[in-house]
Structure formats: C-alpha cells, structure tokens
Chains A and B, each alone.
Chain A
C-alpha cells in the first residue's frame, strides 16, 4: 500500500527557531512536494523536487528551504520560524509522468509558531 509519512503530526516552536519537517515515501517516487494549507487559501506549493539533490521553487518559497539527499526523503526547513508560518504542512509524492500522475499525500504536520 502506498505510504507517505511525516515525522510529526503536531509541532510547537518559538519564533526564530530552526524547524525541520521530514517526509518519507516508500513508493520509489521521483517527485516530492511540500505544500502549506491555510483556511480560505487552499493548498499552496512551497517547493518540489524531481530527483535526488534537485529542487524547484514553488509559489511561496520565501522563508523556506528544502533538502533531498535520498530519493525517499524530502525535508522542509524553516530557517528562522515566524508566526506567519503557523500552518498545516502537507508532503506529497508522485511518479515521474506526463502531468497526470496521482500525488499521494501524507497526513500533514500542524505547526504552531509562538
């Protein structure tokens, strides 16, 4: 069965802390994605990756960075957390394809920055 896991379901951090969100998929997918989900705004793409050590900016990359050292793992990094980064963060993965490949989502990490 397809599985995308995220390291934490809930996180509370303080302003200025460095925050790591981890995502692991067991489907040998090439593509991995990080989104944030906010009420009234839907899902917005932060970063994505086509392959190991490759990354592309999404629509809202400011204040975030990513790391993909292994195919199955994609990390989102908040270099210096701020209160406006309080949100639900969703990771997803998909096979490389023609643009219609299904994205599989993890359960999400709800981050609160105080």
Chain B
C-alpha cells in the first residue's frame, strides 16, 4: 500500500541554520504530496503542496520539489527561525484515490536562538 517515510527526529538547529527534512514515498501512479506543520498545542496546517512531478511547493521560506525519479519530497529552508520550531509531517494523497491522506510519522524541529 501507499506509504510515506520521513527522517526521524528530533532535529535541533541554531537560528539561521539550513534545514532539510527528508521524505520519500511509495505509491502507485502520481500522488499529490504535502507538508503539514503542527505548532505546539495546535492542530495541523498545510505548509505547502505539489500535485505533479517537478512541481515546487513553497511557503514561508520553505520549499519542496516533487521528484518522481527518486520518489522524494524533501523539505528545505535556507535560514530557520525560533518560530519554526514545530512538528513537520510529510503526506501523500493517492492518484484517483479516496481523498485520504497518508502521513509520515512526523519530525520534530527545535530551533535555538
């Protein structure tokens, strides 16, 4: 079945460091790919998405590129801030599927001043 694997955390960085959180997926066809973020004490909110190969999603300085050849959707940010501290979830929605999202296990990011 469809699955998402993302790097295990926790990840701890200093402010202004470069961030990469790896995400790879297994799915038939051409799924849509998402990154969600969960700030402490809150629900999840969509950070960015890409719906076809080579698309780049971007938001709030974060970027991820849909790579079909490597089945990856890695999240990157050039300079993290303390306010980026959160749990990040990679997810996919299968092509022609039933609107369900399949989530990775989440990666906790802590950014220190």
Which A residues contact B (CB, under 8 angstroms)?
Answer: 4, 31, 33, 40-45, 48, 50, 56, 58, 90, 92, 94, 96-97, 99-108
A108 x B43 contact (CB < 8 A):
yes
Which B residues contact A (CB, under 8 angstroms)?
Answer: 31-32, 34, 36, 41-46, 49, 51, 89, 93-101, 103-106
When distances are taken between beta carbons in the complex, the residues of chain B under 8 Å from A56 are: 98
Main secondary structure of the interface of B (DSSP, over half): loop
Interface centre among A4, A90, A99, A107 (most CB of B within 10 A): A99
Q: How far is the CA of A58 from the CA of B32 in the complex (A)?
A: 19
Q: How far is the CA of A53 from the CA of B34 in the complex (A)?
A: 29
Contact of A105 among B45, B49, B97 (CB under 8 A): B45
Q: How far is the CA of A92 from the CA of B89 in the complex (A)?
A: 15
A58 x B100 contact (CB < 8 A):
yes
16 CB contacts below 8 A, A to B, read A40-B105, A42-B89, A45-B101, A48-B100, A90-B44, A94-B99, A97-B99, A99-B31, A100-B32, A100-B49, A101-B99, A102-B34, A102-B49, A105-B43, A105-B45, A108-B43
